A and B are shown apart, each in its own frame.
Chain A
Amino acid sequence: MSLTLEEVRHVASLARLSLSAEEETLMRTQLSAILDAVAELSHVDTSAVEPTSHAAGEVAPWRPDEVRPSFPPEKALGNAPAKVGTSFAVPRILE
């Protein structure tokens, strides 16, 4: 199957990737080839098969809900590209 450039741009916007024009063209070719290769799965009969989402297949365990120390703000902010006081700083989203 062949992806259109529009589809590539739509997926890139969902993935929050600002691709260059060259990258869009490359992705179009390569993703189309990969989708062709994985299309073989459509021939496998899975009508009576449950999906496996996890290898473990165990029920998610519980642990006691105990109060434990967490990171102090200065440590949590240690790798922040920008901060103001004890907050992460981001570009304004409201005018």
Chain B
Amino acid sequence: MEPTDLSMLELGRKLGSGELSSVEAVRACLSRVDRLDGQVKAFLRVDREGALAQAEAADRRRKEGKRAGPLDGVPIGLKDLFLTQGLPTTAGSRILETFVAPYDGSAVKLLRAAGTPILGKLNMDEFAMGSSTENSAFFPTRNPWNLETSPGGSSGGSAAAVAARMVFGALGTDTGGSIRQPAALTGTVGLKPTYGRVSRLGVVAFASSLDQVGPMTRDVPDCAALLQVIAVHDPCDSTSAPVKAPDYLAEIEAGVKGMRLGLPREYFELPGMDREVRAAVEAATRALEKMGAQLVPVSLPHTRHALATYYLIAPAEASSNLARYDGVRYGLRVEGKNLLAMYGRSRDQGFGLEVKRRIMLGTYALSAGYYDAYYLKAQKVRTLIKQDFVDAFRTVDAVLAPTSPTPAFRIGEKVSDPLAMYLNDVFTLPCNLAGLPGLSLPCGFTRGNLPIGLQILGRPWDEARVLRIGRAFEREHDFHRRAPPLGAA
């Protein structure tokens, strides 16, 4: 067994007892990166020296009896959307190719305080817009389970690095499914916390009313432990809620006996859902029933409008957020004959096609004459989608659903058809629109050996229960222990 096969918490215990050192753990990760990342292409930047220096510091703290916590010394990776002092932060875009963050974002600061060496920055769809990592301005990431397929996105580099055991865990962000969908497609665990649970300060903004930071790991307890580090109120982010995080590991093993779990009809009746995905998710719901949960049919009738609602609200917010890339204060500048020409040329050359498409769509939806029919209308339907969940949570404790309608798809298969690509997010978007916590964890494999994800949606602030349900399932299955064939060499 290699050290990289350990979970974050297992490694943390071995680091605590002195059985392994953090430097050894970082070297084990780096050796896998050297061996595998030429094929997987999860990393945009590997910070060898920085990670080793942080590991040495962790080992010193251990010797001095000053460990910072259970994850002190456990190497992690960051989606390249997190401002990380002294390292490039590109957001997967040419426009930020040379940007070096002048400060650490809040989640990064918390990770540093917890002692986790940062191994590098992970690939993503440009500005987190995409579901396959093919919109990265640099290169697509490949799925460790089948290199011809996509790991999903936008946090595809994070998911692939965790699945390929090049890092023990990672942070991603999720605006419409960007943590959960890649987790499902790579057989890993990903959590989008309740909106407001984790600070967005120092995270490159996509759609501010939807963006949320979350952990990506190989099992549910690790997910809980990593969430614990970052779930801290931040007075510098007005959308970070002053809600105290409970101990996420305290009741994680308590099981599902007596819980009422909702099965939303609308999620299981989608035309075009893959048969194997549907069968695996249904089998997972029956397994939870056997463990003592009660399955309750529920209806979320406005689910079918979530896609249209999201693809108006998110681009509208993006068009506003991305106005800051103007070639003046940071990022790419392409000179023009006057200021307006400089703006236009910098943005045209700096942004990729999907980003331009969403800026155009959002600008249109916000423009005079169209605001009420598009943006305001979408905000009203968002209220109905949110209300569906409020109603459902009157009778159930959590909702079970597939994470993605299909397993991993081939690279290039959907990239020229934006609407087909957007359909990947059909099961993950409602959670963001409603601001709920959502977990994806592996619940099976297709005959072609591609992972399938189960999604668990909870009430606002109820991450602990969502994790507990996920752990109950995980404990009695071995899907999360399987390693991609790539890693077996």
Binding site for B on A (CB under 8 A): 7-8, 11-12, 14-20, 23, 26-27, 30-31, 33-35, 37-42, 44, 46, 49-58, 60-61, 63, 71, 75-76, 78-82, 88, 90-93
Instruction: Check B308 for interface membership: any CB of A closer than 8 A.
Output: yes
Task: Decide yes or no: A79 and B435 within 8 Å by CB, A15-B359, A15-B363, A37-B308 being known contacts.
Answer: no
Minimum distance in angstroms from A55 CB to a CB of chain B: 3
- Whether the Cβ atoms of A11 and B381 lie closer than 8 Å is no
Q: In the complex, which residues of chain A have a beta carbon less than 8 angstroms from the beta carbon of B309?
A: 41
In the complex, are the beta carbons of B359 and A79 less than 8 A apart?
A: no
In this complex, what residue of B is CB-closest to A18?
B344
Docked complex: B361-385 residues within 8 A CB-CB of A = 361, 363-364, 367, 373-374, 376-384
B46 located at the interface, meaning its Cβ lies under 8 Å from any Cβ of chain A in the complex: no
Minimum CB–CB distance for B167 against chain A, Å = 27
**Count, chain B residues at interface, CB 8 A:** 72
The prevalent SS among residues of B at the interface is helix
Looking at the assembled complex, report how far the CB atom of A28 sits from the nearest CB atom of chain B, in whole angstroms.
10
Kindly provide the distance from the CB of B244 to the nearest chain A CB, expressed in whole angstroms.
15
Q: B148 at interface (Cβ–Cβ under 8 A)? A: no
Chain A residues closer than 8 Å to B319, beta-carbon distance: 15
* Residues on A with beta carbons closer than 8 Å to the beta carbon of B336: 91
Q: How far is the CA of A58 from the CA of B345 in the complex (A)?
A: 39
Proximity string of chain B (378-406) to chain A, C-beta cutoff 8 Å, 1 when within and 0 when not? 11111110100000000000000000000
Does A76 contact B235, Cβ atoms closer than 8 Å? no
Chain B hits for A90, CB < 8 A: 328, 339, 342
Question: Of B102, B239, B361, which is within 8 A of A71 by CB?
Answer: B102
Which A residues are in CB contact (< 8 Å) with B373? 42
- Which residues does chain A contribute within 8 Å of B348, judged by CB atoms? 17-20, 23
> Bound complex: CA of A37 vs CA of B422, how far in Å?
11
The answer to whether A52 and B308 touch across the interface, beta carbons within 8 angstroms, is: no
CB of B384 within 8 A of CB of A31, answer no
**Complex-state Cα separation, A43 to B345, whole angstroms:** 39
Contact of B384 with A79 in the complex, beta carbons under 8 Å: no
* Interfacial chain B residues near A26, Cβ < 8 Å: 353
Query: B419 at the A/B interface (Cβ < 8 Å)?
Result: yes
Given A31-B360, A46-B381, the answer on whether A54 and B308 have CB atoms closer than 8 Å is no
Known: A79-B100, A81-B327. A50 touches B383 (CB 8 A): yes
| The one of B239, B302, B353, B377 that contacts A42, using a Cβ cutoff of 8 Å | B377
What residues of A have a CB within 8 angstroms of the CB of B103 in the complex?
71
Let me know if A15 and B360 touch, CB within 8 A.
yes
Cα of A10 to Cα of B433 in the assembled complex, Å: 30
B contacts, CB < 8 Å to A:
98-100, 102-103, 195-196, 209-210, 235, 238-239, 241-242, 302, 305, 307-309, 311-312, 319, 323, 326-333, 335-345, 347-348, 351, 353, 356-357, 359-361, 363-364, 367, 373-374, 376-384, 386, 418-419, 432-435
Which residues in A have their C-beta under 8 angstroms from that of B386? 52, 55
B419: chain A residues within 8 A (beta carbon): 33-34, 37
Closest CB pairs A-B (n = 7): A55-B435, A18-B344, A51-B379, A81-B333, A79-B330, A46-B380, A55-B195
Evaluate contact between A79 and B341: CB separation under 8 angstroms: no
Residues in chain B near residue A76, CB distance under 8 A: 102
Using Cβ atoms and an 8 Å threshold, which residues of chain B touch A81?
327-328, 330-333
Closest residue of A by beta carbon distance from B355: A17
In the bound complex, residues from chain B placing their C-beta under 8 Å from that of A56 are 195-196, 239, 241, 435
B418 touches A30 (CB 8 A): yes
In the complex, which residue of chain B has the Cβ closest to the Cβ of A13?
Answer: B344
Contact of B360 with A58 in the complex, beta carbons under 8 Å: no
**What are 8 A-B pairs at a CB distance below 8 A?**
A34-B419, A37-B307, A41-B305, A41-B377, A54-B195, A76-B102, A78-B102, A81-B333
CB pair A38 B311 closer than 8 Å: yes
Q: Which of B307, B311, B340, B380 has the most CB of A within 10 A?
A: B380
Smallest distance from the beta carbon of A35 to chain B beta carbons, Å? 8
What residue of chain B has the Cβ atom nearest to residue A8's Cβ? Answer: B360
Give the nearest-CB partner of A47 in chain B.
Answer: B380
Quick one: which of A19, A51, A60 has the most chain B CB within 10 A? A51
User: Which residue of chain A is the closest to B302 with respect to CB atoms?
Assistant: A44
Given contacts A15-B359, A38-B312, A41-B308, contact A55 B331 (CB under 8 A): no
A11 neighbours in B (Cβ, 8 Å): 360, 363-364, 367
> Do B235 and A63 have beta carbons less than 8 Å apart?
yes
Residues of B within 8 A of A71 (CB): 102-103
Q: A82-B333, A91-B336 are in contact. Are A55 and B210 (CB under 8 A)?
A: yes
User: A78 to B332, alpha carbons, bound, how many Å?
Assistant: 13
The verdict on A60 contacting B238 (CB below 8 Å), with A14-B363, A27-B356, A51-B376 known, is yes
Give the docked Cα–Cα distance between A38 and B307 (Å).
8
Cα distance A58–B238 in the bound complex, in angstroms: 10
